[in-house]
Amino acid sequence: MRKIYQGFLRIEAVLAGVFLLLMVVMMFTGGVARLMRMPLNWTIDIATWSFAWSVFLCADIAWRKDLLMSVDIVAERFAPPVQRALTFVNYILIAGFLIYLAYSGIHLSWVSRARPFQGIPWASYSWVTLSLPVGAMIMLVTTWLKFKAFLAGPSAPAEL
């Protein structure tokens, strides 16, 4: 199980990296092509599509590595048992929010599948919209693992 999860994390990082590099290459190619008076409109389309997917994959990576910022000034002044209770509440609320994003994101992708991406008749915008519910589901898994580690006690490292 742990091995499968590690493999999955590799795939996630590779995909996010590929999307980012794709953005770089597309934006650069688009600029150069326009300079040479051969404007390519599809470079922007690929770049913005990659943008959406990279953002929500990277969001999970940031969440797993504890890079999402929080305001620590107040929370750290509470007594340790209170802090623990608050952390518990945080995980529950975050999980609820992620479930909502996943559910309504899939719903939206389905009901608005007729919406074209950048006006291109054969490309549905749902392929962009899906990036958020997919990202939310991965973040839900991350939240679950963080939560398990939290319940196991402060000394137990998360299996991330």
Partner 1 sequence: QAQDTYTLRFNHVLGPSEPFHEGFLAWAEAVSERTGGGLTIEVFPSAQLGVEEDIIEQIRQGANIGQNTDAARLGTYVPQIAVVNAPYFVDSNEEAFALADSPSMIAWQQQLADEHGLKVVCFDWVQGDRHFFTNSEVRTPDDLAGLRIRTPPAPIWQESIRALGAAPTAMNFGDVYPGLQQMAIDGAELVYPNITAGNLYEVLDYAIETAHIKLVNFQVVSSQWFNGLPEDYQTALVEECRVAGQETSAVMAEAAQAAKQTLIDEGMTIIDDLDLAPFREAGMAAYEALGLTEARAQVYAEIGKD
Partner 2 sequence: MLIVIIAFFVLLVIGMPVAFAIGISGALFFIQYPELPFTIPVQVTVSQTQNFSLLAIPLFIMAGNFLNHSGITEQLLKLASVLTGRLKGGLAQVSLALSALMGGVSGSAIADAAMQSRMLGEPMMKRGFSSGFTAGILSFGSVLTPLIPPGIGMILYGSIGQVSIGRMFAAGIIPALMLWLALAIAVWITAHMRGYQPERQTRPSLGELGGALRAGFWAMLFPVMLLFGLRAGVFTPSEIGAFAVIYAVFVGALIYRRLRTRNFIDALEGSLGDIGAVMFLIAVSAILTYGIVLERVPETLANWIIGLTDDISVIMVMIAVGVVVAGLVIDATVLIIMLTPIFLPLIRSLDGDPVHFGVVFILAATIGNFTPPIGAAMFAVCSVLKTRVSDYTRESVPFIIAVVAVTILLVFVPQAALWLPNMFFG
| Binding residues vs partner 1 (CB under 8 A) | 31, 34, 37-39, 41, 44, 108, 111-112, 114-116, 118-121, 125
Q: Using CA atoms in the order 49, 55, 60, 63, what is the torsion angle rounded to 10 degrees?
A: -170
Work out whether 63 is an interface residue with partner 2 (CB under 8 A).
Answer: yes
Stretch in the footprint of partner 2 (CB under 8 A) among 1-9, 65-73, 151-159: 65-73
CB nearer to partner 1: give 32 or 75: 32
Phi and psi, residue 155, nearest 5°:
-85, -25
Among 9, 40, 84, 97, interactor with partner 2 by CB under 8 A? 97
Tell which residue, 17, 15, 41, has the closest CA to residue 29. Answer: 41
Residue type, 156: A
Rounded Cα gap, residues 23 and 17, in angstroms:
10
Work out whether 36 is an interface residue with partner 2 (CB under 8 A).
Answer: no
Rounded Cα gap, residues 157 and 160, in angstroms:
8
Maximum CA extent, the chain: 65
CB nearer to partner 1: give 3 or 37: 37
Tell which residue, 3, 56, 48, has the closest CA to residue 27. Answer: 48
Please give the structure tokens belonging to residue 62: 């940031």
Residue type, 117: F
Stretch in the footprint of partner 2 (CB under 8 A) among 3-11, 84-92, 152-160: 84-92
CB nearer to partner 2: give 31 or 151: 31
Selection from partner 2, partner 1, none that 20 binds (CB < 5 to 8 A by kind) is partner 2
Binding site for partner 2 (CB under 8 A): 13, 16-17, 20-21, 23-28, 30-31, 34-35, 44, 47-48, 51-52, 54-63, 65, 67-76, 83, 86-87, 89-90, 93-94, 96-97, 100-101, 104-105, 107-108, 111, 128-129, 131-133
